[in-house]
Amino acid sequence: MSRFFSNRHNGLTAYVPGEQPKDLPYIKLNTNESPYPPSPGVLSAVAGEATKLMLYSDPTAQALNEAVADVLSVSADCLLMTNGSDEILNFAFMAFGDEAHPFIMPDITYGFYPVFARLNRIPFEEIPLRQDFSVDVDALIRARGNIIIANPNAPTGMVLPLSEIERIVASDRDRIVVVDEAYIDFGGDSAIGLIGRYDNLLVTRTFSKSYSLAGGRLGFGVACPALIRDLNTIKYSINPYNVNRMTMAAGVAAMRENAYYMENCRRIMATRAYTAEKLGERGFSVLPSETNFLFARHHSVSGSRIYTGLRERGILVRHFSHPRIVDYNRITVGTAEQMNALLAGLDDILQEEAR
């Protein structure tokens, strides 16, 4: 830290993204990217748009709003497009949090939430997940303040039924509830259908996982028009051109080819079931996942040993140091071939440990 760094940021520890190493051709199962490439229409749309890069992108994102509105059956004025969903999450903290409106979140969830709270100097409270890693809905409801949850949750992969989400949103109409649906295309029921009835609900989505666009940086929020206007006030105070031209064109094309992405999600869900079963046969307990990753713990080999053993074999998974989950690894569901390589690597490690 230089002597110029503002005191406002005392105690800020930045989010640490999953590693993106450049040394070996790793099998990357550590950041929940899609193993499948973008659809052909996305590739040509991006190439076509590149010829217009001398011009700013549309700050209202009108074409993309309309394309997404069509697929989700919502009104276009209920949408706000952002540079990844991380940006809409930060906007939510900035727009709705202050000393009197802290954010309530589970103790084990997306690591960016506490970072955004600290960055914006908004108090936050962490509510422990239950012993089985399910979200303690009653404890969340009892806490006073805005609520932010990922559904399905990360890194556990576990989902809450829509009725429980609605119970949280309805518990206090004077607090904001942010539901981060980064993984909703892999199994859970979306809360988007509730936004017409609850003006305190913000649902966030990303193109990074189910739409093969992690490198494009595209996400969005869905909420009633009044909340979208508040979030736009934040956006236009930071960067009106927050989504670049090529990404905007990619998003529109992806919506046109929605069926391709939904088919990829079905393939990943099938591979997930296969992998969970094979992990079980090898002595892992695997949490029930409605996402494109599995959260797994071996009955005798430590989580860090599994992580380093796989890394030595060219396979990257995500290991977290939080004491409650230190025995676990989060494994992205890739192609069936990648999963077979993972299982072979694990067999090797487990044999070595047995010696």
Ligand X SMILES: *Cc1c(COP(=O)(O)O)cnc(C)c1O
Identify which range of 79-87, 265-273, 279-287, 307-315 contacts ligand X by CB under 6 A: 79-87
Q: Which residue has the tokens 């749309």?
A: 45
Shortest reach from residue 46's CB to ligand X, in Å: 17
CB of 295 to ligand X, least distance (A): 12
Peptide bond before 288: cis, by omega within 30 degrees of 0? Answer: no
Q: What's 39's DSSP letter? A: P
From candidates 42, 150, 168, 231, binder to ligand X by CB under 6 A: 150
The answer to whether the CB of 103 falls within 8 A of the CB of 145 is yes
Residue 154 C-beta: closest distance to ligand X, Å: 4
Rounded distance between C-alpha atoms, residue 140 and residue 153, angstroms:
14
Is residue 331 at the binding interface for ligand X, with CB under 6 A as the rule?
Answer: no
By CB under 6 A, is residue 180 in contact with ligand X?
yes
CB of 41 to ligand X, least distance (A): 21
Are the C-beta atoms of residues 178 and 86 closer than 8 Å to each other? no
**Closest separation between CB of residue 352 and ligand X, Å?**
32
Alpha carbon of 165 to those of 136, 191, 194, 261: distances in Å? 12, 7, 10, 26
CB 287 within 8 A of CB 158: yes
Identify which range of 34-42, 53-61, 80-88, 165-173 contacts ligand X by CB under 6 A: 80-88
Q: Which stretch binds ligand X (CB under 6 A): 10-18, 120-128, 206-214, 243-251?
A: 206-214
Q: How far is the CB of 31 from ligand X (least distance, A)?
A: 8
Nearer to ligand X, 209 or 245 (CB): 209
For the chain, how far is it from start to end, CA to CA, in angstroms? 47
Cβ–Cβ contacts within 10 Å for residue 147, how many? 23
Within residues 22-41, the interface with ligand X by CB under 6 A covers: 32
Nearest 5 degrees, angle CA 204-CA 207-CA 210? 105
β-pairing, 27-28 vs 315-316, is parallel
- Smallest distance, ligand X to C-beta of residue 159, A: 12
Touching ligand X, residues 81-120 (CB under 6 A): 84-86, 110
Under rule CB under 6 A, residue 243 binds ligand X: no
Q: Is 208 in the site for ligand X (CB under 6 A)?
A: yes
Give the β-pairing of 315-316 and 177-180.
unpaired
Provide the binding-site residues for ligand X, judged by CB under 6 A: 32, 84-86, 110, 150, 154, 180, 182, 206, 208, 214, 219
